[in-house]
Amino acid sequence: MTMEELYAIAQRELAKDLVFEIEEEPVTVSIRGVLLARTDSKGYNFSFFELSENEFVLAVQMKGFVVYLGMEADEEIDEDAYPELVKILLGQLTPAIALLITRAEKEYPGRADLLMDDEMGPDLKEFFYGLLVKHRQGKPIYEQTEVA
């Protein structure tokens, strides 16, 4: 699978604005960035990172890959609404993420690539390019700052 084909899937399936209701208020979430990276784990998992009041990243891991989705909301989302937000996002985006990973699983030779960078803000851009470098160098993406 060429990078152009993966890029086309990301643009067609994930370059969108999602409009839904959280706590009875309409919210628009725009997907600004997509990063595909290989991982050693074949398990299924997800993580949610808040970067600013209205910028966050949803990472979905499956089949030896992780897809990072950089998103921007049109307004600040209260932390209490994050579980509901993540549930809605996973429900709507998992089929597109699974399609991207299924295609990458067959022929993608790379370690990590940025598939979409659509007007990302500075915090998102810094986060994504930091992830890209860490994945390409094979470094851990999570830094433990305290003894567990």
**Chain segment 44-101, per-residue pLDDT in tens:** 999 999 998 889 999 999 999 999 999 999 988 888 888 988 999 999 999 999 999 9
Q: In this predicted structure, what is the pLDDT of residue 53? A: 85
Confirm whether 112 is domain-assigned: yes
pLDDT mean over 104-116: 89
Confirm whether 146 is domain-assigned: no
d(C-alpha 30, C-alpha 56), whole Å:
10
Q: Which long-range contacts (CB under 8 A, 24 or more apart) does 78-85 make?
A: 78/23, 79/50, 80/23, 81/22, 81/23, 82/48, 82/50, 84/22, 84/23, 85/22, 85/27, 85/29
Name the percent of the chain lying above pLDDT 70. Answer: 95
Confirm whether 16 is domain-assigned: yes
Confirm whether 72 is domain-assigned: yes
Kindly report the pTM of this predicted structure. 0.91
82-107 and 3-14 helices, crossing angle to 10°? 150
Confirm whether 52 is domain-assigned: yes
pLDDT band at 143 (very low <50, low <70, confident <90, very high): low
Q: In this predicted structure, what is the pLDDT of residue 22? A: 77
Range name among 5-9, 99-103, 133-137, 141-145 with the lowest pLDDT average: 141-145
Confirm whether 147 is domain-assigned: no
Total domains in the fold of the chain: 1
Confirm whether 64 is domain-assigned: yes
Q: Classify residue 4 as left (phi > 0), alpha (psi -120 to 50) or beta.
A: alpha
Domain hosting 124: range is 3-137
CA dihedral 95, 99, 100, 105 (to 10 degrees): 130
